[in-house]
Structure 1
Amino acid sequence: MKGWLRLLGLVAFVGLGIVIFRAIRQYREDSAFDVPQATSLPGEGSRRVISPELLSILADPGDKGPVELITDSSGKEWLVNRRNGFRYPVEDGIPIMLLEEGEKNKDESLIQK
């Protein structure tokens, strides 16, 4: 009887170890896709930038294509869709990706043919 209890305790201990191992592995897999918050550039005060990971997954809400980040002569950042000329403003590191904003800020000179 004592042998069975020891075996049962060993099986429970191994099972607990497996559960902990799988939980840690799942946590690491889930956190691999966390998008870091926008960070401040050193020496630029409170100006924040869009992280490259976020920029790589952003898409134009109209045609679902990729956008690129540009800075105009006044220092304002825009997300630009070169296929239709829509510009979406970036305010404090937060892109304003609304179709109305893109239409309002459309720039024909940005369209690539």
Structure 2
Amino acid sequence: MAQFVESCLVDAQAKQIWKELMMPVNYFFRHEVAEKVREEGIEQGIEQGIERERRATVIRILGWRDIPVPDFVRDRAEACSDLDQLDLWAQRALHATRAEDLFDCDRT
């Protein structure tokens, strides 16, 4: 189809414009730098997803146990990005009697 249109164009300038429009495009996203950026972005997205799920798990455990979760507890859990800390809070949530017990330094 493209060759047919090109052959029908009489004007040289129109023919050149048509050729340029029909040239294959080397997109940036196929470049090795773009590949590396994409891989790093995927890794970062996975890490963020894990953090988000761990934060939600802490709050979810409290909810399953019918323990009210004050805003300050929810805010502190949602602000945390330390996976080890979130795991500790999830463990504490299994035995807590109050949401505030998550942050009790004396518990292990």
Bin of the TM-score, shorter chain as denominator length:
0.3 to 0.5
**Greater helix share, 1 or 2?**
2
**Greater strand share, 1 or 2?**
1
Report the TM-score, using the length of structure 2 for normalisation. 0.34
RCO higher in structure (CA 8 A, sep ≥6): 2
| Bigger Rg, structure 1 or 2 | 2
Report the TM-score, using the length of structure 1 for normalisation. 0.33
